[in-house]
């Protein structure tokens, strides 16, 4: 503490005069500074502020996945489809293996996990997440935007409807207090589109779904008497994949970001073909494409996943979504940050030997066999972008080769490079650069869409086998859990059971099982929906697993498809 020096009394007079002079002078300077500095300060503050953060040249990307529904088009709710004479017919018995027409609602309600997604949101685990995120504070809804972000995926009718919000605000989302029609989970309209404008039309003979679907992209087709808006033609595999990916990956309205993961939400590792396979069907597929369906689904999934990821990254980087924050940590590989500070000798992960891929981390990029490609790519302490969704771009380029694809490949590489360079830098420049690059990439991918959907129709099991064996023979296979999963899913999508070539099929099937075994999450790290590894089983040997991958690739190449 500075000691105040008391001036002697005879000096007080001159000192007062001097003080006054100094004060006057300072006042003048201060005034000048205020005049000069104020506009400057405002600009500089805004450069990092939240209000003026929006990028000036923001244009709305023609967003065909889901953005067009949000809040504008009312949702009627699944109950409006549930009439017994419409889609609420009796469930098929054992005698009827394929879904009979008219029982769609009943099938969805009783078998489809989507109908239970509201209950998931009301579970105790979810409440813990909501409280951790301060969406709910002391029993009251505190963050409406955050809650909307949850409802965007978990509840069709919840998106912005006042009823749900107020009900939730009063009752902290407890299911028993909410009426079933407003808490339906992922209902019919989540995938088929808001029914308000086509509800009265869609049973008429004049209603053609393929024509109606064009309404999605903004060309509202006029039907006799009524305008049809919002119907999604799910006969197209690509459209279907895009609908799924809008929640299971995310999009401009649905951001399952690192905040949610940190609060306890499981990470989204979506793979369209296998999810599609696992979904209890309430529809009938055409039988003539059955042989190649898995392969087509797989390819469509690669496109949809990449597209959704780009849309999501764009929304994050442009901060156009209320729940998004930048820097967004989940853009990067989990294990790049979440790794032990020391080696395995000092911190073995629990049950480290139960999985091949977790010697240092949950989704561990395999550190057993260095050098990691990742390490070569980045500088010390930098992060790699997560490739679960974007890795499929390579398959898109293979399926739809051409100049556009080449350009896309370059753009993707440059975006990934920027992500590596900037990492989690929070400044505006890095954010806008990433936004600009993502935007141009997303736009170019969108331009490729029609050409690509054409390639899907030509895609078959032979080409799929080609892709799969290429992935299985890659060096990255044993370094990267995510890559290995992609390779496995590609091989699985070849759907070898259709082959008459019994000898090769058996070997391939066996090696596929081994591959799958090695990829299962270790105990203690799985989410409840994922298959658990049996702790009594012998841990898999990496060499054994590697051999299985080689064998599988070999069989796929030999297989008569």
Partner 1 sequence: MNLLGERNKEIYQGISEYKLDAQASESIMAITRLRVVIVLVKTHLSLGFSSARRSASASFPACLLAQRAGRVLLPTGSLYYCLSVLISLGFFLTERLLIAQAPTSVNQPQFTAIGVKECAACHSNPSPIHQRLGITSFVRMVEAREWLNHDRHALAYKYVDPKHNELTRKICEKLGWSPSGDEFVSQCLTCHAGVDHRAKRPSESVLQYGVQCESCHGAGSQLTRVEHHQQVNWRAKTPAQKKALGMNDLRSPKDSAEICFSCHIGEIDQNRFVTHAMYAAGHPPLPPVDFQSLLDAMPPHWKSLAEKPVPAIDGQPSPQRFELQDEYFAANFGDKYKMPVGQMAIRQSYRRTQASLIGGQVAQQVAIELLRDAASRENLWGDYALYDCNACHHELQRPSQRRQAAGRIPGRPFPMAWWLAELPTEALENRLPGPRIMAINDVFNAKPFGQRMQVLEAMNEFVVESPTSAERSRIMTGAQVRQWVQQLITLRDDDIHDYWTAKQTGWMVTIACRELLHHKSVSREPIDRLLHELSQELDLPIAKPRNSPSAQSIFLELEKNNRFDPQRTREILRQLLPQVEQNLQSERLDAQTIR
Which residues form the interface with partner 1 (CB under 8 A)? Answer: 1, 45, 48-50, 132-134, 258-259, 261-264, 325-329, 334, 337-347, 349-350, 359-363, 367-368, 370, 375, 379-382, 424-427, 524-525
Closest to partner 1 by CB, 298 or 422: 422
Say which residues have a Cβ less than 8 Å from residue 1's Cβ, sequence separation at least 6.
none
CA distance 191 to 214: 15
**Shortest gap between Cβ of 369 and partner 1 (angstroms)?**
8
Residues 56, 165: Cα–Cα separation, whole Å = 32
State in angstroms the smallest separation of the CB of 266 from partner 1. Answer: 10
Rounded to an integer, what is the distance from CA 496 to the centroid of its chain?
29
Task: Please report the DSSP string for 391-417 in residue order.
Answer: GGHHHHHHHS-SHHHHHHHHHHHHHHH
* Residues 429/458, Cβ–Cβ less than 8 Å: no
Closest CA to 157 of 126, 123, 198, 115: 115
Residues 6+ positions from 88 with CB-CB distance below 8 Å: 81, 82, 102, 103, 105, 106
Nearest to partner 1 of 163, 526 (CB atom): 526
Q: For residue 93, what are the contacts with CB-CB under 8 A and spacing of at least 6?
A: none
Closer Cβ to partner 1, 209 or 351, answer by number = 351
Which of 80/360 has CB closer to partner 1?
360
Q: Rounded distance, CA 215 to CA 210, Å?
A: 10
Question: Which of 55/325 has CB closer to partner 1?
Answer: 325
Q: Which residue bears the tokens 């605000």?
A: 169
Of 236, 399, 402, 267, the closest CA to residue 332 belongs to: 267
Please report how close the Cβ of residue 32 comes to partner 1 at its closest, in angstroms. Answer: 23
**Distance of alpha carbon 430 from the chain centroid:** 22
Cβ at position 208, least distance to partner 1 in Å: 47
Measured CA to CA in angstroms, residue 479 lies from 201, 474, 475 at distances of 53, 10, 8
**Of 251 and 336, CB closest to partner 1:** 336
Q: What's the min distance (Å) between Cβ of 181 and partner 1?
A: 34
Tokens (6 digits) for 234: 């799910």
Calpha distance 77→298 (Å, rounded): 31
Spatial separation of the C-alpha atoms in residues 439 and 430, rounded to whole Å? 14
Q: Least distance (Å) from partner 1 to the CB of residue 48?
A: 5
CA 139 to chain centre: 29
Q: C-alpha 506: how far from its chain's center?
A: 35
**Please, what is the minimum distance in Å from the beta carbon of residue 175 to partner 1?**
23
Closest to partner 1 by CB, 261 or 446: 261
Non-local CB neighbours of 516 within 8 Å, separated by 6+ positions: 488
3-state helix, strand, coil in the chain (%, to 5): 55, 0, 40
CB of 450 to partner 1, least distance (A): 38
Q: Judge whether 416 and 377 are in contact, CB under 8 Å.
A: no
Which of 370, 401 has the CB closer to partner 1?
Answer: 370
Closest separation in Å from C-beta 368 to partner 1: 7
d(CA 64, CA 313): 16
Nearest-approach distance from CB 41 to partner 1, in angstroms: 11
Q: Which is nearer to partner 1, 98 or 340 (CB)?
A: 340
Distance in angstroms (rounded) separating the CA atoms of residues 255 and 341: 30
Parallel, antiparallel or unpaired: strands 140-141 and 136-137: antiparallel
Q: Which of residues 406 and 541 has its CB atom nearest to partner 1 in the complex?
A: 541
Q: What DSSP state is assigned to residue 365? A: B
Closer to partner 1 by CB, 50 or 450: give it. 50
In sequence order, what are the beta bridge partners of 480? Answer: 365
Asked whether the beta carbons of 264 and 203 are under 8 A apart, the reply is no
> Shortest distance, CB of residue 321 to partner 1, whole angstroms?
14
- Which residue number, 254 or 463, has a Cβ lying nearer to partner 1? 254
Residue number with CB closer to partner 1 (334 or 561): 334
């Amino acid at each position: 503490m500075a000691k105040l020096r008391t001036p002697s009394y005879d000096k007080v007079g001159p000192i007062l005069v001097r003080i006054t002079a100094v004060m006057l002078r300072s006042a003048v300077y201060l005034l000048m500074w205020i005049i000069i500095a104020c506009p400057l300060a405002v600009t500089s503050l805004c450069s990092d502020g939240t209000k003026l953060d929006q990028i000036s040249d923001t244009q709305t990307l023609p967003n065909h996945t889901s953005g067009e529904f949000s809040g504008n088009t009312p949702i009627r709710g699944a109950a409006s489809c549930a009439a017994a004479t419409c889609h609420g017919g009796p469930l098929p018995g054992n005698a009827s293996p394929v879904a009979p027409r008219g029982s769609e609602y009943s099938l969805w309600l009783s078998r489809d996990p989507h109908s239970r997604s509201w209950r998931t949101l009301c579970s105790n685990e979810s409440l813990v997440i909501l409280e951790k995120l301060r969406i709910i504070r002391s029993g009251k809804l505190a963050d409406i935007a955050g809650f909307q972000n949850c409802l965007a995926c978990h509840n069709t009718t919840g998106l912005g409807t006042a009823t749900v919000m107020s009900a939730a605000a009063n009752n902290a989302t407890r299911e028993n207090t909410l009426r079933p029609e407003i808490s339906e989970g992922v209902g019919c309209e989540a995938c088929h589109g808001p029914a308000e404008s086509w509800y009265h039309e869609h049973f008429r003979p004049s209603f053609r779904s393929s024509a109606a679907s064009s309404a999605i992209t903004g060309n509202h087709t006029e039907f006799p008497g009524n305008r049809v808006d919002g119907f999604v033609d799910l006969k197209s595999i690509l459209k279907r994949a895009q609908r799924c990916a809008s929640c299971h990956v995310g999009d401009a309205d649905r951001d399952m970001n690192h905040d949610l993961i940190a609060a306890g939400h499981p990470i989204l590792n979506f793979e369209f073909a296998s999810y599609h396979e696992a979904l209890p069907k309430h529809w009938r597929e055409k039988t003539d494409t059955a042989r190649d369906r898995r392969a087509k689904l797989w390819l469509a999934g690669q496109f949809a996943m990449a597209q959704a990821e780009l849309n999501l990254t764009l929304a994050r980087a442009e901060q156009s979504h209320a729940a998004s924050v930048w820097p967004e940590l989940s853009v990067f590989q989990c294990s790049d940050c979440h790794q032990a500070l020391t080696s395995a000798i000092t911190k073995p992960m629990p049950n480290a030997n139960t999985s091949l891929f977790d010697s240092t981390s949950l989704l561990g990029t395999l550190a057993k066999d260095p050098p990691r490609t990742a390490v070569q790519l980045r500088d010390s302490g930098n992060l790699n972008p997560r490739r679960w969704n974007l890795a499929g771009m390579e398959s898109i380029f293979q399926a739809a080769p051409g100049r556009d694809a080449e350009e896309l490949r370059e753009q993707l590489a440059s975006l990934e490079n920027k992500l590596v360079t900037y990492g989690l830098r929070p400044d505006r420049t890095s954010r806008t650069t990433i936004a600009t690059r993502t935007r141009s990439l997303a736009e170019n991918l969108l331009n490729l869409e029609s050409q690509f959907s054409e390639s899907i129709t030509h895609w078959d099991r032979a080409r799929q086998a080609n892709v799969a064996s290429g992935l299985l023979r890659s060096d990255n296979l044993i370094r990267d859990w995510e890559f290995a999963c992609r390779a496995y899913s590609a091989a699985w999508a070849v759907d070898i059971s259709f082959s008459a070539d019994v000898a090769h099929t058996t070997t391939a099937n066996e090696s596929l099982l081994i591959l799958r075994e090695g990829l299962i999450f270790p105990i203690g790290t799985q989410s409840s929906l994922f298959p658990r590894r049996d702790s009594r089983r012998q841990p898999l040997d990496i060499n054994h697993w590697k051999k299985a991958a080689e064998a599988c690739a070999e069989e796929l190449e030999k297989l008569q498809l």
